[in-house]
Amino acid sequence: MKRLTALFVMTLAFLVISWCWNVKDTETINQVSLLQWLTLGDYYGSKSIKELKELWNIWLGTFDGLNGELIMLDWVVYRGNDKLEIEVPSDDELIPFANVTFFDNDLEYELSDIDSIEELKEELDDKVSELGENRFYFVALSWEFNSIHIRSERKQEEVYKPLAEVLRVDQTEKKLDSVEWTIVAFFTPAYMADLNAAWWHFHFVSKDRKTWGHVLDLSIKDASVILDWTDNFKLYLPDWEFFKGLDLTVDQSADIKEVEQGK
Ligand SMILES: [Zn+2]
């Protein structure tokens, strides 16, 4: 009888553990809203940080009112404010746009002597063409760079301006030399260009967790690269009435390029 009870308890424990494991999906890119919707000037958050923390541990995005750029790393959500300094926001803050997934170490390698962000993109593109350019990637690069050029933006007040215009007038830029750092990059396949910026998006955080920003340019001495690929995608649309009838077929590729690259 004791044996039967022990067996029953073990089976139950196994079922509970495997159920918990299955609930947490580690192989899906979760996206809040569309970059195209943010670009038009919708900075109203639709998911709280608390809700998104349920969806795993690596994120890029922005905050309600465009209050700085967002990175989540080591299970902490950071805001790079308009002074390019780091703040830790409260779990109640709302997020209008983000990509969130679980960061697996699927591949690890080294890079050295990269002179520009374009060169870094080429290096990463080569790796992506090898591994398949129709899936999603999160990449974390860390170690030492020679220089980096970053930006963040000032919190907006209503009525909101389109994003490209905000970055023309309310953007702060900074150049840094020789700091240890981590960069988180997200790769969206080209066929998803109506939902997000196709190809790469880079966010930077210094190792001392004091400086943070969206990366405009850089020069790398040595870096270790960890790459995570993901083959599933889930989109969370805002539940606003005005979103439901909105025309999102307008071509915004020029604005999105300006937003990403600062040109
Ligand atoms: Zn950014």
Q: Which domains does the chain have, with CATH numbers?
A: 27-261 (3.30.1330.80)
Q: Are 119 and 105 in contact (CB under 8 A)?
A: no
Mean pLDDT of 127-153: 92
- Residue 263: the pLDDT is 58
- Residue 180: the pLDDT is 86
Ligand 1 centre and the CA of 60: distance in Å?
Answer: 7
At residue 247 the predicted structure's pLDDT band, cuts being 50, 70 and 90, is confident
At residue 257 the predicted structure's pLDDT band, cuts being 50, 70 and 90, is confident
Ligand 1 centre and the CA of 100: distance in Å?
Answer: 14
Q: How far is CA 48 from CA 53, 90, 102, in A?
A: 9, 9, 18
Ligand 1 centre and the CA of 145: distance in Å?
Answer: 19
Ligand 1 centre and the CA of 223: distance in Å?
Answer: 21
Ligand 1 centre and the CA of 259: distance in Å?
Answer: 8
Ligand 1 centre and the CA of 113: distance in Å?
Answer: 24
The dihedral built from the CA positions of residue 114, 150, 76 and 230, taken in this order, carries a sign that is: negative
- Residue 248: the pLDDT is 82
> 227 pLDDT exceeds 70?
yes
At residue 65 the predicted structure's pLDDT band, cuts being 50, 70 and 90, is very high
- What pTM does this model have? 0.87
- Residue 20: the pLDDT is 57
